[in-house]
Amino acid sequence: MPLKKKQVPVPWDLKQGDDNYQKEPWILKKGKEFITIETDNNNRGNFYLQKDDEKRLSISALQAKLTYHQLLEFGYKLQKPKRKKTKITEISDEFI
């Protein structure tokens, strides 16, 4: 009997305001390799998948979801978005 793992939600199913929400493209990294997943704006419900600088593939939503979970099992990690740097020198008069 296979063990049931708690499925991690795919990033494109999350809405703004949810925990772990990220804007696309979603980049999965493992060492020097990276795989990019983004929505296909021309073909609703489809996604583009691209490994490193190879040719971009168009896949269905189900394929994208299964591939995402399989990549996580293979050790890929979803790259966190980079935070924008803020200037500390800009302090308003309220805090002085």
For residue 62, what are the domain limits?
22-80
Asked if residues 34 and 84 have their Cβ atoms less than 8 Å apart, the reply is no
- 17 falls within a domain: no
Mean pLDDT of the chain: 83
pTM of the model: 0.75
Cβ contacts of 80 within 8 Å, gap of 6 or more:
22
- 1 falls within a domain: no
For residue 55, the model assigns a pLDDT of 95
- 10 falls within a domain: no
- 36 falls within a domain: yes
pLDDT in tens, 32-44: 999 999 999 888 8
Asked if residues 78 and 9 have their Cβ atoms less than 8 Å apart, the reply is no
User: Would you give the distance in Å from CA 19 to the centre of its chain?
Assistant: 13
Q: Is the pLDDT of residue 3 over 90?
A: no
How many domains does the chain contain in total?
1
Asked if omega into 25 is within 30° of 0 (cis), the reply is yes
CA angle in degrees (0–180, nearest 5) for 11-13-16: 80
Q: Is the pLDDT of residue 89 over 60?
A: no
- 5 falls within a domain: no
